[in-house]
């Protein structure tokens, strides 16, 4: 036996099934809270702020909020599933199965991408009912959505493996994921920042995910979308290698 | 029995930063055997089982399941072994049936395996719990589901890690009967248990681990015959003020019976009985018997008096 594709598919299906079983918590709640951001910030800054000429602040904000939701949920899917299984002890069912580290990774990554797309899609659909949302390139939107969910899903795999309790995961979320997403241009363009903060933002990989994603909607961005695409791909590759290495080594999973 | 052992352990070591859990364990379990793995808490039984299933990596040495190395040929080895974990673990998101189909899928089995899963539900008396969420099941039912999960891929080797710990008498009997049935159907069974009578009544051979070392391995009658002591039963209480040598030989003591451990060899036995005579206990008052498996176990693991 060389590959266990059906086993990998089963784990992917189980991970998707898991979050759909609690869809109020995993899809509806994040969608509603993101829409609250849109209502509050959209209403307050709609007239006062113009980020890109010819585009309202709301239409600038929507892609950022969709990406924020998508990223946070993709991360939450893989990280919480792995940590919860570790804490409950039911991770043994997966570890006793003839699944390779790559198969385990792909299943968790795939499910994280699906959750990211479902929650991001929910926010986008509801937002488009409230305000006009322009679409420059559906292909680029989808590409960046998949890449971003992948990046955050891979980060979630690493965080889930590393964490030993919810406190660890919460630290990862609050001190790494949240600052990276909030300081990545969800609510503003980095062109409006001082040079120091602009340079700092250039080191934030999530900035490229949001900027490229927004380009797909508006056709304008802070940096060239190809640059964003390259950074996203490299980041995903790096996180993939790290995740697979961790899974292969059995770090904090196999004694 | 086929030529290839069901399990082959070669110099298995597991070292942790502060302790050596396994110190070079080697033995084989023949195909079709009912094998008992005994030892006190912390002896290394679960570590050994976890290495068999790939949950723990050995520091050195090898384990092969039906000829497949658990590290380098893990896909094959895991397809040949089913492990029932000691802890009552479950995934709270799923029902019994969903969990079984998921577990079956991990092993590459799809709908074609449903008939076998149904059979497992019937055999383990879980049919009416089929659509029940796992967290709503009683401890006994969860234990049954764990057994079913370990068998979804029809493994030839089944490891039961203390399956009857904390279960009621009825379920314990049902689990014994199920283990017997699996054995009769040709499965190789490895059983760890704290209930010595379970091992006594079910196992062909028994290995005893203590502090990470294999201290005995044999058929149970041979284990008893090889034990260097027999038991002297005296139908009276010997009082509280016994000499030191007698205290160290005491196996048990009650109001009207004292049991002592004495050497098996004739010379040692004679010397022991002469010492008893000096205390006023004549040979006619002493009945000799073979030790039970429990007494051998306690003697070998230092858990006894």
Domains of chain A, residue spans: 5-249
The CA distance from B37 to B159, in Å, is: 10
Single pTM value for the model: 0.91
pLDDT reading at B305 higher than 70 = no
Quote the radius of gyration of chain B (alpha carbons, Å): 23
Mean pLDDT of chain B: 92
Comparing alpha-carbon positions, the chain B residue that sits nearest to A93 is B103
Q: How far is A99 from chain B (nearest CA, A)?
A: 7
Average pLDDT over residues B19-30: 96
| pLDDT score of A137 | 96
**Identity of the residue in A6, A22, A89 whose CB atom sits nearest the CB atom of B105:** A6
What ipTM, to 2 d.p.?
0.91
Set of chain A residues whose Cβ sits within 8 Å of the Cβ of B149: 93
Q: What is the pLDDT of residues B26-38, one digit of tens each?
A: 999 999 999 999 9
Assess B109–A contact: CB distance below 8 Å, yes or no. yes
Residue B61, sorted as left (phi over 0), alpha (psi -120 to 50) or beta, turns out to be left
Angle at B92 between CA B87 and CA B93, to 5 degrees: 145
Q: How far apart are the first and last CA of chain B?
A: 40
pLDDT reading at B244 higher than 60 = yes
Q: How far is B222 from chain A (nearest CA, A)?
A: 35
Comparing alpha-carbon positions, the chain B residue that sits nearest to A16 is B93
Structure token digits, residue B227: 């034990």
Residue A161 is given by DSSP the state H
Average pLDDT over residues A75-101: 97
Average pLDDT over residues A59-69: 90
Average pLDDT over residues A8-33: 94
Q: Quick one: pLDDT band at residue A184, thresholds 50, 70, 90?
A: confident
Residue % of chain A over a pLDDT of 70: 97
A235 pairs with which residues across the strands? none
Q: What is the pLDDT of residues B228-239, one digit of tens each?
A: 999 999 988 877
Average pLDDT over residues A223-236: 96
Angle at B68 between CA B66 and CA B72, to 5 degrees: 165
Q: What is the pLDDT of residues B266-291, one digit of tens each?
A: 999 999 999 889 888 888 889 999 99
Q: Which of B166, B191, B187, B154 is nearest to B176 (CA)?
A: B191
Mean pLDDT of chain A: 92
Q: What is the pLDDT of residues A164-176, one digit of tens each?
A: 999 999 999 999 9
Phi, psi of A133 (to 5 degrees): -115, 120
Structure token digits, residue B59: 């520091």
- 3-class secondary-structure state, position B6: coil
Q: What is the pLDDT of residues B97-141, one digit of tens each?
A: 999 999 999 999 999 999 999 999 999 999 999 999 999 999 999
| pLDDT score of A155 | 96
Q: What is the pLDDT of residues B152-210, one digit of tens each?
A: 999 999 999 998 887 888 888 888 898 999 999 999 999 998 888 888 889 999 999 99
Residue contact B106–A10, C-beta within 8 A: yes
> Which helix or strand (DSSP H or E) is residue A39 part of?
helix A29-45
pLDDT reading at B142 higher than 80 = yes
Residue contact A88–B89, C-beta within 8 A: yes
Average pLDDT over residues B53-69: 97
**Sheet with B20-29: strands ordered across:** B20-29, B7-15, B60-65, B68-69
Q: Quick one: pLDDT band at residue A187, thresholds 50, 70, 90?
A: confident
């Amino acid at each position: 036996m060389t590959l266990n594709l059906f086993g990998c598919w089963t784990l992917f299906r189980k991970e998707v099934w898991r979050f759909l079983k609690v869809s109020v918590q995993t899809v509806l709640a994040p969608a509603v809270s993101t829409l609250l951001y849109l209502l509050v910030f959209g209403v307050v800054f709609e007239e006062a702020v113009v980020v890109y000429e010819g585009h309202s602040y709301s239409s600038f904000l929507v892609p950022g909020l969709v990406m924020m939701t998508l990223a946070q949920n993709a991360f939450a899917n893989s990280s919480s599933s792995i940590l919860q299984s570790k804490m409950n002890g039911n991770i043994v069912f997966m570890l006793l199965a003839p699944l390779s580290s790559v198969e385990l990774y792909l299943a968790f990554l795939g499910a994280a991408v699906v959750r990211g797309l479902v929650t991001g899609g929910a926010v986008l659909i509801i937002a488009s009912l409230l305000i006009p949302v322009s679409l420059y390139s559906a292909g680029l939107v989808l590409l960046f959505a998949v890449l971003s969910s992948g990046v955050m899903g891979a980060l979630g795999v690493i965080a889930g493996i590393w964490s030993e309790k919810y406190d660890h995961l919460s630290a990862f979320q609050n001190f790494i994921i949240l600052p990276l997403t909030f300081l990545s241009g969800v609510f503003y363009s980095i062109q409006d920042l001082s040079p120091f903060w602009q340079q700092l933002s250039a080191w934030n990989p999530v900035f490229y995910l949001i900027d490229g994603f927004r380009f797909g909607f508006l056709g304008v961005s802070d940096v060239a979308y190809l640059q964003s695409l390259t950074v996203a791909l490299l980041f995903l590759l790096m996180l993939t290698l790290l995740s697979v290495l961790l899974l292969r080594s059995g770090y904090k999973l196999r004694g | 029995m086929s030529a290839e052992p069901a399990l082959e352990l070669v110099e298995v070591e597991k070292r942790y930063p502060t302790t050596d859990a396994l110190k070079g364990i080697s033995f084989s379990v023949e195909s079709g055997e009912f094998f008992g793995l005994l030892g006190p808490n912390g002896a290394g039984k679960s570590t050994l089982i976890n290495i068999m299933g790939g949950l723990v990596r050995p520091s050195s040495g090898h384990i092969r399941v039906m000829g497949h190395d658990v590290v380098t040929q893990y896909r094959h080895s895991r397809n040949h072994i089913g492990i029932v974990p000691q802890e009552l673990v479950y995934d709270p998101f799923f029902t019994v049936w969903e969990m079984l189909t998921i577990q079956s899928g991990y092993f590459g089995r799809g709908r074609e395996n449903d008939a076998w899963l149904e059979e497992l539900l019937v055999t383990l008396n879980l049919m009416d719990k089929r659509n029940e969420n796992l967290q709503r099941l009683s401890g006994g039912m969860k234990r049954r589901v764990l057994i079913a999960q370990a068998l979804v891929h029809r493994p030839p080797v089944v490891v039961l890690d203390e399956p009857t710990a904390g279960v009621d008498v009825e379920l314990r009997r049902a689990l014994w009967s199920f283990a017997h049935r699996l054995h009769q159907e040709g499965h190789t069974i490895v059983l760890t248990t704290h209930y010595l009578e379970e091992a006594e009544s079910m196992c062909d051979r028994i290995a005893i681990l203590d502090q990470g070392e294999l201290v005995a391995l044999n058929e149970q009658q041979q284990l008893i015959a090889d034990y260097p002591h027999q038991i002297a039963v005296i139908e009276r209480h010997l009082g509280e003020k016994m000499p030191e040598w007698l205290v160290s030989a005491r196996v048990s003591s009650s109001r009207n019976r004292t049991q002592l451990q004495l050497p098996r060899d004739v010379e040692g036995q004679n010397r022991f009985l002469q010492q008893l005579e000096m205390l006023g206990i004549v040979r006619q008052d002493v009945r000799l018997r073979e030790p039970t498996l429990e007494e051998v176990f306690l003697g070998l693991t230092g858990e006894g008096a």
